[in-house]
Structure formats: C-alpha cells, structure tokens
Amino acid sequence: MLKEWRCTKALRDIKQGKIPNHIAIIMDGNGRWARKRGLPRVAGHRAGMQAINRCLLGLRALEVKYLTLYAFSTENWRRPKAEVDFLMDLPGQFLGKELNSLLENNIKFGIIGDIEGLPAHTQEAVAEGLEKTRKNTGLNLIFALNYGAREEILGAARQLGQLCKNGQLDPQAISATDFENCLYTRGIPSPDLVIRTSGEIRISNFLLWQAAYSEFYVTDVLWPDFGEDDFDRALQNYATRERRFGQVSAKER
C-alpha cells in the first residue's frame, strides 16, 4: 500500500517555488545494494520496487505530473537469465500489489519502450495496467521497459524515412515536432529533472533526445535506499537552478 510522505518544511517551501512537471529517474544500484548485504541480486530489485512506492504519493502531493522510471534497458537482456526472468515478473507483481492504490490515488500507469519484445505474461500485465488506469488524470507513472534511446531514435528515423519514401512527407520539411511524434514519448513533455542514483555519472542510453535540456541530479545513494529526504534534496537542488535553454542568464541581461 502506498504511504504518503510527511509534509516537511522543505517540501512546503519547494511547493511555493519551482516544481518540475516531469521527473525521470535512472534507478541504479539495486545489485550493489544486495551484494553489500550478501543477498542475491533479485533481492535488490525487490527492495527497489519498495523505493518506487515510497516516492509516488510524495510527488502527487507536490503536483508533479509525470514520473518516468528507467526499469529495464535493451542492454539488460545480457544479464543472467534468472535475473532477467525476475525483472520480467516485476510489472505483474507491482500491479498486483498496487493497482488498487493507483486507482484510488488517480495515478495513470504508462509504458515506453519496445513492448512487443517483452514476454507474453509481461505484455499482459502491462496491458491490464494501461487499460484499468487509462481514465486517471493525476500523476502519470511511466516505466521505461525494454527501452533504449538509440533504438528509439533509429525507429523514429525509419518511420520518417518511410513517410518520405511514400511521398507523404517532404524531407526538407521535417520538423522537431514530426520527429518527436515518432518517439515512444509522443505526447509526453521532456523531463525537467533527471535523477540518477548510485553515483554513476552517465546517461546510459536513456531519453537522449528528450533530456537535451533537462537538469541532472546525481546522488551516491543506492536506489533501494532512496527515500523522502533524498527526494527533498533533489527537489531543493532543482529549485536553485536557472533554466536558460541556451539563452543569456536573466542576471546578465
């Protein structure tokens, strides 16, 4: 069951200031969390799922509209079969435990990635979550599953190329909007804030196009340990940023 965060002074202050509309998180460190405790890697993924639960209502209270979580990349298929099988079961486990809470809290479930490349039982769980929450209008909880940004960009290029080949589109007239309409994230605004846990400083093939002007926040905290205070710090840090999008700072004008 989702548990709402306490309303700290820091959160109240942030609410009066700048709140990101879309937060994306690279949930890193599950395996290291488990290894430090002498546990199998799947124990880290199970603990990571609990960390997701800790985040949801806190963000809803702050009126964040989109939360995108990097759950399984196209490169993760190279991991041991037992770990991959466990990860493919997680969407069904998560929805089995939390679907009623998502409905009660008006949270809409979403997916980006190559869904057709997932096992049948994972696709079925995802389809059920999408259907049962499709009318919800609150926080959009989006899982990047079997997702790779390079593959996404190549797919968009192929779609546009086919439209040009069919005479439906002039190559010289292709716009950024045309390109974005061919991405998995069509209709989803670009992330304002990208958080990466576990201290790694890389983007790992995640939202390469969409994160062009995102603010980045890296923490050494492993994802299963990521909690309310850590989110407080990330949001407070974001609130201090001046987002210029290539323009001159307002202080210098």
Name the residues annotated as catalytic: 28, 76
Break the chain down into helix, strand, coil percent, rounded to 5.
50, 15, 35
Q: Give the residue among 146, 143, 177 at the shortest CA–CA distance from 160.
A: 177
Put residue 73 in one of left, alpha, beta given phi > 0 → left and psi -120 to 50 → alpha.
beta
The dihedral sign for the CA sequence 57, 232, 6, 30: positive
> Which helix (H) or strand (E) covers residue 133, if one does?
helix 120-133
d(CA 204, CA 70): 10
- Using DSSP's 3-state secondary structure scheme, residue 180 falls into helix
d(CA 156, CA 150): 10
Identity (one letter) of the amino acid at 128?
E
Max CA separation in the chain (angstroms): 59
Would you tell me how many other CB atoms lie within 10 Å of the CB of residue 118? Answer: 19
Q: Is the Cβ–Cβ distance between 201 and 220 less than 8 Å? A: no
Going along 49-166, which residue ranges are E strands? 66-73, 108-112, 140-147
Q: List the structure tokens of 91.
A: 């969407």
